[in-house]
């Protein structure tokens, strides 16, 4: 029987996202079937970076209507999107953020030690077969679209699917 693991990434902070992906790629490299779940701000590391005033495309009911109730979308969702543009290379640190200078210093320190960036860890996790899932409620509440993510094979699932995955797993981490 193949071993399984799950990681729930709740935080949108660089150091916590790095930790989650280092652990996920480590387990996947050992042959453990890993599933990563992203909730609330955890999805920020998977988002494509948008310009501050970039146009937001109209949601496609055939695609996004499956996991979002488009009828209840409102003007607050685009406002949150403007304030929270995301992107793996633009996440804050949980400590010593220093108005955005902290992540730049931290990234340079990692680079000098040949530790991969978050974006390359995400690509490596995808290549190793780590499965990515985003909470359906978060997609609906924040107006997220899987088309706006850097990883092509992200699934949107509900909390019961997460619970089933954790019950089937030998390892379950919450970051």
Nearest to 37 by CA among 172, 168, 162: 162
Query: What is the structure's pLDDT at 67?
Result: 77
Using a pLDDT cut of 90, give the percent of the chain over it: 42
Query: What is the structure's pLDDT at 35?
Result: 97
Mean pLDDT, to the nearest integer, of 102-120? 89
41's CB contacts (< 8 A; 6+ apart) are 10, 11, 12, 84
Q: How many CB atoms lie within 10 A of CB 74?
A: 8
Mean pLDDT, to the nearest integer, of 88-107? 83
The Cα–Cα gap between 135 and 155 comes to 9
CATH architecture for residues 4-174: 3-Layer(aba) Sandwich (3.40)
Please give the mean pLDDT across all residues of the chain. 86
Asked if the model's pLDDT at residue 95 lies above 70, the reply is yes
Q: What is the pTM of this model?
A: 0.85
Q: Which residues pair with 47 in a beta bridge?
A: 149
Nearest to 98 by CA among 14, 29, 3: 14
Residue of higher predicted confidence among 55 and 3: 3
Using a pLDDT cut of 70, give the percent of the chain over it: 94
The H or E element that residue 171 is part of is strand 171-174
Residue 73's pLDDT band (cuts 50, 70, 90) = confident
Instruction: State pLDDT tens for residues 21-46.
Output: 999 999 999 999 999 999 988 888 88
Query: What is the structure's pLDDT at 52?
Result: 63
Copy the structure tokens of residue 46: 């998977």
Instruction: State pLDDT tens for residues 139-161.
Output: 888 888 888 888 888 999 999 99
Query: What is the structure's pLDDT at 172?
Result: 94
């Amino acid at each position: 029987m193949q071993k399984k693991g799950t990681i729930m990434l709740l935080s949108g902070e660089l150091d916590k996202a790095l930790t989650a992906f280092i652990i996920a790629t480590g387990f996947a490299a050992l042959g453990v079937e890993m599933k990563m779940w992203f909730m609330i701000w955890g999805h920020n590391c998977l988002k494509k970076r948008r310009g501050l005033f970039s146009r937001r495309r109209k949601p496609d009911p055939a695609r996004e209507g499956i996991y979002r109730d488009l009828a209840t979308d409102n003007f607050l969702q685009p406002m949150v999107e403007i304030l929270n543009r995301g992107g793996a290379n633009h996440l804050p640190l949980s400590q010593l953020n220093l108005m955005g200078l902290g992540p730049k210093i931290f990234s340079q320190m990692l680079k000098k030690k040949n530790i991969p960036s978050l974006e390359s860890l995400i690509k490596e996790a995808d290549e190793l077969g780590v499965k990515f899932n985003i909470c359906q409620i978060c997609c609906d509440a924040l107006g997220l679209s899987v088309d706006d993510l850097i990883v092509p094979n992200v699934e949107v699932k509900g909390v019961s699917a997460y619970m089933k995955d954790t019950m089937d797993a030998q390892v379950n981490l919450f970051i």
